[in-house]
Chains A and B, each alone.
Chain A
Amino acid sequence: DIQMTQSPSTLSASVGDRVTITCRASQSIDIWLAWYQQKPGKTPKLLIYKASTLQTGVPSRFSGTGSGTEFTLTISSLQPDDFATYYCQQYDDYWTFGQGTKVEIK
């Protein structure tokens, strides 16, 4: 099984901050990585797929980079609507989610 490890688990930030979340795969997954945003009581929302492709309708302040085993999600200027939990997911070999990163207000 491919394991996905996100860091940090929790991140405290202010509106306007640049925020970066890291996701590491236990083996190479090429670019088969997605990022999701989930707010409390809501369904997860796909933000990015193929490591760096923005899903339709997702603001351009979100970006993804990486390939192989190391990936990052960056929010260039954190907005009030962005406080949420973010998950990475590999889909090279079935699917595995990372444990999540909660972005909270500093």
Chain B
Amino acid sequence: EVQLVQSGAEVKKPGESLKISCKGSGYDFTKYWIAWVRQMPGKGLEWMGIIYPSDSDTKYSPSFQGQVTISADKSITTAYLQWRSLKASDTAIYYCARPSDGFDYWGQGTLVTVSS
């Protein structure tokens, strides 16, 4: 069974750093891209970027380029989304998903709350 399991909810202060994770199982992790999607409170879905775990080839949406870093460790079938300095506007649910035809599998989401 294909599964993407994300790390738990985080509460951070503005300016702090954060790295959340997404662990894939039940399929060959190195053969599929992993995408990250943001959903701000009460808002829609926004594609942030993707990574190919086999070679760590990474592409970012222009809206998120320079704001976050996507990485992966294929040895532990895990992808990451990282911030160096969080802002209150980063408060959102972050999903990882597997692009195939559309995004066929999704993680359960990680709620990130940034508040002073």
Q: Which residue of chain B lies nearest to A87 when distances are taken between CB atoms in the complex?
A: B45
Partner of A46, one of B47, B59, B95, B103: B103
Q: Taking the complex as formed, is A34 at the interface, i.e. its CB lies under 8 A from any CB of chain B?
A: yes
Q: Taking the complex as formed, is A20 at the interface, i.e. its CB lies under 8 A from any CB of chain B?
A: no
Q: Which residues of B contact A71 (CB under 8 A)?
A: none
Please report the C-alpha to C-alpha distance between residue A94 and residue B103 in the assembled complex, in whole angstroms: 12
A46 in contact with B104 (CB, 8 Å): yes
Q: How close is A47's CB to chain B, nearest CB, in angstroms? A: 9
Partner of B47, one of A45, A94, A99, A100: A94
Partner of A100, one of B44, B59, B61, B104: B44
Interface size counted on chain A using CB atoms at 8 A: 23
Please report the C-alpha to C-alpha distance between residue A100 and residue B39 in the assembled complex, in whole angstroms: 12
- Can you list 28 contacts pairing A with B, beta carbon distance less than 8 Å? A34-B102, A34-B103, A38-B45, A43-B95, A43-B106, A43-B108, A44-B45, A44-B95, A44-B103, A44-B106, A45-B106, A46-B102, A49-B100, A49-B101, A50-B101, A53-B101, A55-B102, A89-B45, A89-B102, A91-B99, A91-B102, A94-B47, A94-B59, A94-B61, A95-B99, A97-B44, A97-B46, A99-B44
